[in-house]
Amino acid sequence: MLIDSHCHIHDQDTYEFAFSRAQRKTLSAEDYTPEKLLARAEENDVKKLICIGTSHEDSIKARDFAEGHENVFWSYGVHPDEAEKYQVGLEGAPVAIGEIGLDYRNGIGNRENQFKLLEQMLQLAQDNDLPCIFHIRDAFDDFFAVLRNFPEIKRAVVHSFSDSPENLQKSLNEGFYIGVNGLATFADIPLPPLDRILLETDSPFLAPVPHRGEVDEPAFVKNIANFLAIHYQTTFEEVEKITTENTERLFKI
Ligand SMILES: [Zn+2]
């Protein structure tokens, strides 16, 4: 059994956008409903999924979808891109707080707002004793500085890690897991030891080799596991076992 620890299949709008942008369309638009995505995941042995919230409203959508499916879990998060204007109010029982973090990809104009949002979300994780799902882009120094004020935050994954070997090591030193998705199959990014990896897709984006250009989906977790088996010169089953145990341990699912 495999787990997709980070997907957005509850978010139909994002899937429609990704489909409109896809360079290779092997399926039609109607094949990307949450139910069909879930069915294809199951056919490919991806038996548990975590739907990731990116705003208050989106998190509620993730919650409502997860509540109808035994093998779907959800997280409550407000993405740093929402830092200009956001609402926070945890309703329901998520398995994590995220995705949260800092993102300086489009400049640092709203840095103060991003700090404020991140601090509020870290407090929420601390108060509810929940693990965190971090999205950090070009902002690791500031991220570690904010984290120092929250010493109780010990359980987390840095999702879609694509930074330097130094920041990978610092994340590992914090005790965090690292989320590995399709990026690893086509970009040169540093990878942690297997016992610190969670598999994810971040679908509908970042489809792995050999699905580049297609809309990404949880079923493709299999391709990422395959890539890692080759990279670590081990078996698919070993990758499956270790990453599934890691994910179940972190999120208690
Ligand atoms: Zn995401």
Q: Which amino acid is at 229?
A: A
Q: Which CATH number fits domain 2-251: 3.30.420.10, 3.20.20.140, 3.40.50.2300, 3.40.50.980?
A: 3.20.20.140
CA of 236 to the centre of ligand 1 (A): 25
CA of 241 to the centre of ligand 1 (A): 23
Residue 79: the pLDDT is 96
CA of 182 to the centre of ligand 1 (A): 12
* Under 8 Å between Cβ of 84 and 109: no
CA of 79 to the centre of ligand 1 (A): 9
Domain extent listing, the chain: 2-251
- pLDDT at residue 99 tops 90: yes
CA of 242 to the centre of ligand 1 (A): 22
d(CA 43, CA 219): 8
- Return residues with CB closer than 5 A to ligand 1 (ion): 52, 202
* Under 8 Å between Cβ of 253 and 73: yes
Residue 47: the pLDDT is 98
Q: How many CA atoms lie within 13 A of 41 on its CB side?
A: 28
pLDDT tens digits, residue range 145-201?
999 999 999 999 999 999 999 999 999 999 999 999 999 999 999 999 999 999 999
Residue 25: the pLDDT is 96
Residue 189: the pLDDT is 96
CA of 191 to the centre of ligand 1 (A): 19
Q: List the single range of 2-6, 101-105, 107-111, 207-211 with lowest mean pLDDT.
A: 107-111
Confidence band, pLDDT 50/70/90 cuts, at residue 42: very high
CA of 52 to the centre of ligand 1 (A): 6
Number of H helices, E strands in the chain: 9, 8
CA of 149 to the centre of ligand 1 (A): 25
* CA distances (Å), origin 243, targets 1, 22, 135: 10, 29, 19
* Under 8 Å between Cβ of 205 and 18: yes
Confidence band, pLDDT 50/70/90 cuts, at residue 208: very high
CB atoms near residue 69 (< 10 Å): 14
d(CA 122, CA 253): 21
Mean of the per-residue pLDDT values of the chain: 97
CA of 159 to the centre of ligand 1 (A): 8
What percent of the chain lies above the pLDDT cut of 90? 97
Confidence band, pLDDT 50/70/90 cuts, at residue 80: very high
Confidence band, pLDDT 50/70/90 cuts, at residue 12: very high
* Under 8 Å between Cβ of 78 and 55: yes
Q: Residues 104-119: what's their mean pLDDT?
A: 93
Residue 106: the pLDDT is 87
CA of 133 to the centre of ligand 1 (A): 9
SS3 224: helix
Residue 107: the pLDDT is 84
Cα 15 to its chain centre, rounded Å, is 16
CA of 136 to the centre of ligand 1 (A): 11
CA of 6 to the centre of ligand 1 (A): 6
Reported pTM: 0.97
